[in-house]
């Protein structure tokens, strides 16, 4: 039977091993993501909030929207996403969509990254969102899988590559098959991760085992974050 002193020494040794392993993983992550960090002035990290879009008298409540952003920044949020699907992106006008980008950039004032909701089931429309988001000063884009159309995996690749080629804005892919009707499979994510402008993944497929699969398959690419 081990004595208390021996157990303490073993526990201390184990803690040192864990710390050393964590340091190695952190350095590996930094090395792997050097190109991404250089490409994007503000990396996607920490807690990033998908904003709701408040309305008043059938119009966007602009003051309420910006107040929401300020509230979250004051409480430590690391980034905000205006006009994702949570923010009514499928139901608002183009003018309203882009106005929300503008309001978010203004409210964030450079304190946290603004990741614009640029997803659409129309590739041309998504590209227009990307270009507008870039021109208004957004730091990145969240691009949900094209909903309702149900493209195959080759179609998804063509859709995302066309969007990624349209702007140098860093892209976070959003996979939520329960809502869109199409699942972006791990092999497709691995393929897309090699594009320099596709840097992150928000995965809401509901299968935690995919996390390790994405990490393994995207190792050769530049996917910097799983969310």
Q: Which residues pair with 149 in a beta bridge?
A: none
Catalytic-role residue among 67, 174, 194, 196: 174
DSSP annotation string for 179-219: HHS----HHHHHHHTTSTTEEEEEE-SS-TTHHHHHHHHTT
Active site residue 196: no
* Residue 174 annotated to the active site: yes
34-226 maps to which CATH number?
Answer: 3.20.20.70
Spatial CA neighbour of 29 closest among 14, 41, 42, 43: 43
Residues 137-193 have pLDDT tens digits of 999 999 999 999 999 999 999 999 999 999 999 999 999 999 999 999 999 999 999
197-215 confidence digits (pLDDT tens): 999 999 998 888 888 888 7
Which one from 30, 32, 134, 202 is the annotated catalytic residue? 202
Q: What is the pLDDT of residues 49-70, one digit of tens each?
A: 999 999 999 999 999 999 999 9
Q: Where are the domains of the chain?
A: 1-32, 34-226
């Amino acid at each position: 039977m081990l004595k208390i002193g021996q157990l303490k020494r073993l526990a201390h040794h184990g803690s040192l091993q864990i710390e050393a392993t964590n340091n190695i993983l952190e350095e590996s992550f930094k090395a792997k993501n050097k190109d991404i960090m250089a490409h994007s002035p503000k990396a996607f990290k920490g807690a990033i909030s998908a904003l709701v879009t408040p309305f008043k008298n059938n119009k966007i409540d602009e003051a309420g929207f910006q107040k929401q952003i300020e509230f979250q920044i004051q409480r430590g949020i690391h980034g905000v996403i205006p006009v994702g699907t949570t923010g009514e992106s499928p139901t608002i006008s183009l003018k309203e969509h882009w106005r929300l980008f503008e309001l978010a950039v203004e409210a964030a004032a450079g304190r946290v990254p603004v990741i614009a909701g640029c997803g659409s089931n129309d590739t041309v429309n998504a590209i227009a969102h990307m270009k507008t988001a870039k021109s208004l000063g957004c730091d990145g884009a969240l691009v949900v899988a094209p909903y309702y159309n149900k493209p195959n995996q080759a179609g998804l690749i063509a859709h995302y590559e066309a969007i990624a080629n349209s702007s140098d804005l860093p892209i976070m892919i959003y996979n939520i098959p329960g809502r869109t009707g199409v699942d972006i499979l791990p092999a497709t994510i691995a393929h897309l991760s090699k594009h320099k402008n596709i840097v992150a993944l928000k995965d809401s497929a509901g299968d935690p085992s995919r996390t390790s699969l994405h990490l393994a398959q995207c190792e050769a690419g530049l996917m910097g974050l799983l969310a």
